Amino acid sequence: MNHVFIFGGPRNGSWHYQFVRTSQESVFYSGLKEVDWKSDNHRNFNGDVHYGTVFRSGSDDIYKNLTLEDQTQPANFFEACCLQSPEAFFDNVNYIEDSGHRLCVKGYEQTVGLSELVDHDKIYIHRPLKDQWRSFAIANLTRRWQWEKDDPTPEIVEMNSASKTEVCGRFMSRMYHAFDFYKRNKDEDNFTELSFEQVSKLPAISPLKPTPKLKLSDEVEEWISDTSPFDVQYELSDEERPYSLNELENLLWPSSHS
């Protein structure tokens, strides 16, 4: 049985997919089997506090013996596994394998090297660019990356102190890496592509609640609806001509823009 690494961008349904796999196949371990609901669910990014289950630790015996380096904390193992140093990564892989399990964790297209050193399957979940952007933008504005049962719903989502340029820039960088990763790996034998729609319909045992229906301010709605940055061309490599995100998505998934 191979390890599983999930790719496809920052808001592509990877959390739901790991709940599907870990609830159906006990061999897989993601770090979210037993969430420690008493642990912190927030992280301070230079005075900007964000919330979500992503920042909680696990309470099971395996989790307690994992190595998670300070620079990746607080972050659940599911998100942080492939962000460790090679030494910590292999310590964790060996411990999990010795426990009779295999990884089912988030992979990062820009730091894919570690996952290539173990027997694994790549799962790429394609969520349309504009849908993923909307989810990413709203998560940044609400500072809420996963919703838990007692989380308050804001009356209206506004820009407040968020930088439009910075948030959009981070998203675009992630998606360029995701699309380039797809282009380079899609024909490999251990590569499986799933659509976000397919993944969303899979039954899973999840402690999270769906993102509530949120009212956006006119400024927020206008900002999210302006996808003109995705038409700006970006040079992926010296060997290829520049592409915009919209061009790349249309090239790789023609039906997305039909």
CATH number of the domain where residue 229 is located: 3.40.50
Split the chain (258 residues) into runs of 10 and give each run's mean pLDDT: 97 97 97 95 90 97 97 95 95 98 94 87 98 98 95 96 95 94 96 97 93 97 97 77 92 78
Give the amino acid at 9: G
Boundaries of domain holding 182:
3-257
Q: For position 237, what pLDDT does the model report?
A: 67
Give residue 154's Cα distance to chain centre: 24
Measured over the CA atoms of residue 135, residue 139, residue 141 and residue 147, the dihedral's sign is: positive
Distance CA 18, CA 16 (A): 6
Q: For position 239, what pLDDT does the model report?
A: 66
Can you read off the two tokens belonging to residue 142? Answer: 């609400």
Beta bridge partners of 122: 5, 191
Predicted model pTM = 0.95
Q: For position 235, what pLDDT does the model report?
A: 72
User: What ranges in 106-189 are assigned the alpha helix state H?
Assistant: 129-142, 164-185
Question: What is the number of domains present in the chain?
Answer: 1
Measured over the CA atoms of residue 146, residue 147, residue 149 and residue 151, the dihedral's sign is: positive
First vs last C-alpha separation in the chain: 38
Distance CA 174, CA 181 (A): 11
Q: For position 234, what pLDDT does the model report?
A: 80
Distance CA 196, CA 10 (A): 12
Residue 27's SS3 state is: coil
Can you read off the two tokens belonging to residue 243? Answer: 């592409």
Q: For position 238, what pLDDT does the model report?
A: 66
Any residues with CB less than 8 A from the CB of 38 and at least 6 apart, and which?
Answer: none
Distance CA 189, CA 218 (A): 46
Q: For position 113, what pLDDT does the model report?
A: 79
Which residue is associated with the tokens 């060997």? 239
Beta bridge partners of 237: none
HSE of 90, CA atoms in CB hemisphere, 13 A: 7
Query: Could you tell me the CA-to-CA distances from 130 to 33, 88, 238 in Å, in that order?
Result: 31, 36, 27
